[in-house]
Structure 1
Amino acid sequence: MNLLASLSIASGSLNVIEAQYAVTANNVANASTAGYVKETIATLSSVAGGVGAGVRLGATQLSINQALQSSLYRQNAASSSYTTMSNSLAALSAVQGSTSADSGSTTSLTDQLGNLQSALISLTSTPSQAASQSAVLNKATAFVDTIHTLASTYATQRQEAADNVVSTVSSVNSDLTQIGALSQQIMKFKGLGQNTADLENQRLGVMADLSTNLNVSFASDSNGDMMVQTADGTRLPTRPDQVGQENSSQTLPSSTWPLVTSSATLSASMAYSKQDSKTSVPAITLAGQDITSSLTGGSLGADISLRDTVYPQMQTQLDSFSYTVMNRFSSAGLPLFTTGAGSSSVISGSDLTKPAPDGIVGLSSGLSVSAAYTAKPSLLTTITKSDGTTSSSDTSVISTVLSAGFGSDADQVGGTLAAPTTGLGPDGSFSTGYSGNQGLLALSSSLTSNQGATIAAANAGVTSSSAVLTLLQTKVADVSGVNVNDEMAKTVALQNAYTANAKIISAVQTMFNALLGAIQ
C-alpha cells in the first residue's frame, strides 16, 4: 500500500467520522423530543481491486422495533380514550352523589327522594300544619332540581363531546395529510438514493400524535409510502393519489380532508344513527361514506362514544325514572309532578320515543312540581268527596303514595307502573340496563349505581392503561430512545478515531516532505 492510498483512506475516514459526529449531535439535540427515534449511520468496508480501500458511509437508519412501536401506538389510543372518558365523566361524578351508605353523600337522587318520602311521612302526623305541607313541596322541589342538574350535566358534557369530535377530526386530518406530505418527500429522496432518516423521524412524531386521537395502524411500503387504517381495517388516505385523485386537488397538509363532519347544537331528541342518512347528529364521512363507527379508540373514539352512547343512555335512564315517579304518584292519587309542558301530569302518547309530553324523551329536563300544589300547599291533604264537598287535613292520599307509590310489591311496580327499560331514546335503541320492576328508591339507586359503574370503569381504565403505557414507553425508549451517556461515549470514541486518522495524515505529510527534500 503506497502513501497516496494511505492518505486517501485516512481522509475518507475523517469524512465518515464527521458524518457520524453529525448524527450523534442530532441524537443529543433531540433527546427530549417526543417520539424521536435514535438514528445510527452504517459504515461499510471499501474494497478496490481486492485491496482494502478504507471505509465508506451506508444509509442512516432508525433504531426501531416495529412490534414494540405498534404496541405503543395502540396503547396511546387506549390511554387517551380512557383519559378523555374519565375527564368528561368527572363533571357527572361531582353532581351525582353516591348510593354507598358510608359515602357521606346527602345529595344523590336516592337521598333527595328519601327526603321527600320522610317529609310525606311527617305530613301524615301533622296534616293541617302549613310548615309540614311546605316541607313536602320544598323536598319535592329539591328532588326535581337534582334531576334537572343531572339532565343539564348530561347535556353539557354531551355537547362538549360533540364539539370535541369536530375539532379532533380537524387534528386527525392534519396528521393524516402531514404524513402524506412527508411520505411524498421520503419517496422522492429514496428514489434519488438520498438519506431519509430525518424525514422518517419527523413522520414518526406525527404518527405518535395521530395515535392519541384514534386507534390506527401503520404500514410502510418499500418505496417509503405510508398506509394508515383504523382498527376495523378502514383505510384512511393520507394523500389524494391514494384514492385515485390528483394530488393537486388538495393542498397538504389539510385540516378539512379526508374526513368530513360538521358541528351541531344537540338536544335530548337528537340521536346518531348510521342507518339514517338524515341523522340529526352529524356523521363523520370519508368520500361521502359514513365511517363514524369505524373511528374507535383515542380521544376521537371516546368523544364519539360519549356523544352517541354514554350520555344518551344516561339521559334515557333519567327520563324513564322521571316518568315512573310522575306516573306512580299520579296513580296513587297525588299528581305532584308534571311534564312542565302544559303542566300535564300524564304522558299523552303511547310512543315513549317522542319528546315530552307526547313521549318521555327529555322529560327529566322539564319535570316540575305541580303549580297547583305550590300555589296552595294545603291541597296535599285536601280531598274532594263524591258529593262534591272537600275534606281538609285528610292523609288518605298521602298514605296511599307512601304505601303504593313508594311500594315494591308486584302490583305496585308491574304493568303500567313498571319503569320503561327498553326501546328508549329518540330512536328506540337504548335501554336502562336494569329492571323496571323496582320501588322508586331502588330504581334511583340502580340508576346512580349503573352510572357510577360507568364512571368507575373509566377511572380504572385510566389507571391500568397508564401503567401499561408507561411500561411500553420504557421498553421503546430502551430500544429507540436517545441515551445521552451512550452518545457521549460515542463522541469520545469518534474523537479518538479522528485523532488517529489525523495523525496518519500528518505522518504521510511528513513522509512526503521528507521525500521531496531528498529529491531536491
Structure 2
Amino acid sequence: MGLSQALSTAMSGLRATQASIALVGSNVANAETPGYVRKTVIQSAGVTGDYGSSVLLHGVDRQLDQYLQAALRTETSGAAYADIRSTFLQNLQGVYGNPSETGTIEDAFNKLLTAFQGLSTSADSPSARIGAVNAAQTMAQTLNTTTQGIQNLRANAEMGINDSIITANNAMAQIAFINNQLQNNGKTDAATASLLDQRDQYITQLSALMDIRTVVNDLNQVTVFTNSGVQLVGTEAAQLSFNPQGTMTPNTLYNPTDPTKSNVGTITINFPHGGSYDLVSTKSIRSGKIAAYLELRDDTLVKAQAQIDQFAAALSSSLSDKTTAGTAAPASVLPQAGYDLDLTGLQSGNVIHVSYKDNTTGITHNLSIVRVDDPSVLPLSNTATLDPNDEVLGVNFSGGMASVVSQLNAALGATANLQFSNPSGSTLRVLDDGATNRSDVLAASVTTTMSSLTSGNPQLPLFTDNGGLYTGAITANGAQVTGLAGRISVNLGLLGDPSRTIVFSTSPLTAADDTTRSDFILTQLQTGSYRYSPQTGIGTTAAPFTGTLLNFAKQFISQQGEAATSAKQLADGQSVVLNTLQKKVTDASGVNIDDEMAHLLALQNAYSANARVMSSIKQMYDTLIQAM
C-alpha cells in the first residue's frame, strides 16, 4: 500500500470517527428526551483490490425494533382505553356513594321504609306524617342528584371526545407534514432520523386516541389506518370533525338504528379529496381514549341512568297504579261471553289486560292493550310492558272510544276471534266468538294511575313526574321513563297537607288512626315485586329481573361496584404490560449513558490511531522531501 493510499484510509477513518463522535454527543444530550431513538453511523469498508482502502459512510441508523414499536402502540391504545373506563367507573361509584354511607340511594330508601313504619305505628301523629313526606322528598332528591352526577359524567365524556379529536387532527397533520419533508430530501442523515423520531411521537400520540396500524414505503413515508381499515393520513391528512352537544340530559342519546336521529355528537372523517365517513355508526374506532369515551357516553352511563330511571318508575307506579278486574258481560250477550272494563281514568301508558284461549291451537294468549295518545309511535314493541309473555298492542285513544273499538276489532277480530264494543260511556266490552267456540276470554282487567290523593283508594300519586302523573306514556319524544329519576318529585298536595299520607277519603272521612294507606305504601315498598327493563343491563328480554325495589337497588349498585373493580384491575394489568413493553423499547432503542461513554472512549482511541497514522505519513513525506 502506497503512502497516498494510507493517507486516504486514515482520513476516511477520521471522518467516520468524527461522525460517530457527533452522534454519541447527540445521543447523550437527548438521553432524557421523550421519543428519542439512539442513533449510529451506517458505515462499511471500501475495498481496492484485495485490501480495505477506506471507510464509507452511508447515513444514520436509528436503533429501533419495529416489532416492539408496533406492539407498544397497540398496548398504548389498550391502556388508554382501560384507564379512561376505570377513571369514569370509579367516578360513577363516587356518584352512587358507599352503601354504608348516608346520602346514597339505598340509605334514602331504608329511611323511607323506616318513616312509613313509624307512620303505621302512629298514624295520627302529625310529626310521623311530616317525617314520611320528608323521607319521600329525600328519596326523590337523592335520585335527582344521582341523575345529575351521571349526566355530568356523560358530558365529561363528550368533552373528552372533543379534546381527543383536536389532538388527533394535529397529530395527523404533523405526520403528513413530516411525510412530505421526507419525500423531498431523500436522505438518511441525522436530520432525517430526527424527523422520524418526531413522526413516531405523533403516531404514538394518535395510538393513545384510537387503534391504528401503519405501513411504511421505500421513502420512509408512513400511511396510518384505523384497524378497521379507514385511512387517516398519508402525504395528506384526513380531517376529523365532531359536533359536541355540551349539556347532557337523559334524553340526549345516540340512536344506533338511525344515527340521523341522534342528539349527541358524532365523529365524521373528511377525506382530503372529498367524501366523508361516520366513524361512530360504523364502529371504526375500537380502542383508545375515543372508543372508551364513546362507550361510556352511549352505553355504560346510559345503562346507569336506565337503572335509576327504572327504580324511580317502579317506585312511583307501585304506589299509584290500581288494577281493577273486569265484570262479567251481561247475559244478554249470550251465547258470547266476556267482560266489561271501566276505562275511566285510563291515562296514556296505562294498560288493559286480556287473557284468552285460542281453542284451535290450545294456546293461551296474554294481551296487553296500551293506551297511546301519539299515533306516531305505533306499532309498539312487545317489550313495552316488560312481561316476556305479553303480546302488546298499542291503540291510539286520541279519537275517542268509537275509534278505539274500531282499531281493536280490526287488529283482533279475525286473528284472535275477539269482539270489542262500547256499550256506554267509557266501558269497553270484550267478548269471545260465541257459538263457533274458536276463542274463550279467560280474564280481563285494567290498570289505571290514580290522580287524586283522596280517591277513596289507598293508591296515591306519592311521587310525580315534575308535578305531573307518571303513567309510563310513550310519545314521539321517547318513553316517559327516560330521565324520570332526574324529574321525580313528591306530590305537591302531600307537601302542603301531609295528612293525606293517612286520609284517602273525605266522604266518608278517613279516621285519623286508619293505617290502610300507610300499610299499603309500606307493603308495596317492602315486599312488592316488580319487573325491570333489560335496558338496565340486568336481566334479559326473555327473563327480565324481577324483585323488590330494595333488591333491584342492591343489584345495580353491586353491579356497578363490580364493574368499577374489574375496570381498575384491567387498567392496572394494561399498565403493567405497557410499562414492560416500554422498558423493552427503551432497552433496545434508548440511550444508555454508560454504553455511550464506553463507545466514546473507543472512538477517541480510533481517532488517535488514525491521527498517529497521518502524523507518521507526514513524517515520511518530510523525510522523502529532505532526501531529494
TM-score (norm 2): 0.73
Residues 300 and 518 of structure 1, relative CA distance in 2, 3 Å threshold: same
Residues 169 and 222 of structure 1, relative CA distance in 2, 3 Å threshold: same
Residue 393 (1) aligns with residue 389 (2): no
The correspondence of residues 253-264 of structure 1 with structure 2, limited to 5 A, is 257-264=238-245
Cα separation, 2, equivalents of 1:139 and 1:517: 115
Aligned length: 479
- In structure 1, the residue matched to 2:105 is 109
Q: Residues 206-240 of structure 1, C-alpha deviation per residue, up to 9 Å, x if partnerless? A: 11211112221222112222111222222222443
Moved more, 369-378 or 136-145: 136-145
Cα separation, 1, equivalents of 2:491 and 2:261: 37
- In structure 2, the residue matched to 1:211 is 207
Q: Residues 58-96 of structure 1, C-alpha deviation per residue, up to 9 Å, x if partnerless? A: 231121222211111111111111222222333322231
Q: Residues 311-353 of structure 1, C-alpha deviation per residue, up to 9 Å, x if partnerless? A: 112111211111111011223613211101xx123226245x8
The correspondence of residues 458-497 of structure 1 with structure 2, limited to 5 A, is 458-497=567-606
Residues 389 and 130 of structure 1, relative CA distance in 2, 3 Å threshold: closer
Residues 198 and 135 of structure 1, relative CA distance in 2, 3 Å threshold: same
Runs of 4+ with >6 A deviation: none
Post-superposition shift, 1:463?
0.9
Structure 1 SS opposite 2:37: coil
Post-superposition shift, 1:49?
4.0
Moved more, 299-308 or 432-441: 432-441
- In structure 2, the residue matched to 1:507 is 616
Is the Cα–Cα contact under 8 Å of residues 354 and 360 in structure 1 kept in the other structure?
no
Residue 267 (1) aligns with residue 249 (2): yes
Is the Cα–Cα contact under 8 Å of residues 316 and 432 in structure 1 kept in the other structure?
no
Partner AA of 1:25 in structure 2? G
Post-superposition shift, 1:194?
5.4
**Structure 2: gaps of 5 or more residues:** 271-275, 322-457
Post-superposition shift, 1:193?
6.5
- In structure 2, the residue matched to 1:247 is none
Moved more, 58-67 or 146-155: 58-67
Post-superposition shift, 1:436?
3.5
User: Percent identity between the aligned chains?
Assistant: 27
Cα separation, 2, equivalents of 1:419 and 1:193: 65
The correspondence of residues 140-289 of structure 1 with structure 2, limited to 5 A, is 140-190=136-186, 196-240=192-236, 257-265=238-246, 266-274=248-256, 275-287=258-270, 288-289=276-277
Cα separation, 1, equivalents of 2:608 and 2:552: 82
Partner AA of 2:31 in structure 1? A
Cα separation, 1, equivalents of 2:121 and 2:36: 75
Is the Cα–Cα contact under 8 Å of residues 98 and 448 in structure 1 kept in the other structure?
no
Q: Residues 121-158 of structure 1, C-alpha deviation per residue, up to 9 Å, x if partnerless? A: 11111112222122212222222222112110111111
- In structure 2, the residue matched to 1:311 is 301
**Structure 1: gaps of 5 or more residues:** 241-251, 423-429
Post-superposition shift, 1:297?
1.8
Q: Residues 233-292 of structure 1, C-alpha deviation per residue, up to 9 Å, x if partnerless? A: 22222443xxxxxxxxxxx8xxxx521112213322122235323422221112321012
Cα separation, 2, equivalents of 1:391 and 1:344: 28
Larger Rg: 2
Partner AA of 2:173 in structure 1? T
Q: Residues 159-196 of structure 1, C-alpha deviation per residue, up to 9 Å, x if partnerless? A: 11111211211111111121111112123222x56563
Structure 1 SS opposite 2:300: helix
Is the Cα–Cα contact under 8 Å of residues 175 and 202 in structure 2 kept in the other structure?
yes
Is the Cα–Cα contact under 8 Å of residues 41 and 58 in structure 1 kept in the other structure?
yes
- In structure 2, the residue matched to 1:46 is 46
- In structure 1, the residue matched to 2:469 is 345
Partner AA of 1:467 in structure 2? V
- In structure 2, the residue matched to 1:421 is 534
Is the Cα–Cα contact under 8 Å of residues 339 and 346 in structure 1 kept in the other structure?
yes
Cα separation, 1, equivalents of 2:537 and 2:205: 36
Q: Residues 449-471 of structure 1, C-alpha deviation per residue, up to 9 Å, x if partnerless? A: 22223322221122111111111
Post-superposition shift, 1:15?
0.7
Structure 2 SS opposite 1:106: coil
Structure 2 SS opposite 1:282: coil
Question: Which residue of 554, 564, 571 maps to 1:445?
Answer: 554
Residues 97 and 194 of structure 1, relative CA distance in 2, 3 Å threshold: closer
The correspondence of residues 3-82 of structure 1 with structure 2, limited to 5 A, is 3-82=3-82
- In structure 2, the residue matched to 1:290 is 278
Q: Residues 357-406 of structure 1, C-alpha deviation per residue, up to 9 Å, x if partnerless? A: x6111111111111111111121111216x44333232111112222342
Residues 449 and 379 of structure 1, relative CA distance in 2, 3 Å threshold: same
Query: If each structure's strand is expressed as a fraction of its own residues, which one has the higher value?
Result: 2
TM-score (norm 1): 0.87
Cα separation, 1, equivalents of 2:524 and 2:111: 17
RMSD over aligned Cα, in angstroms? 2.1
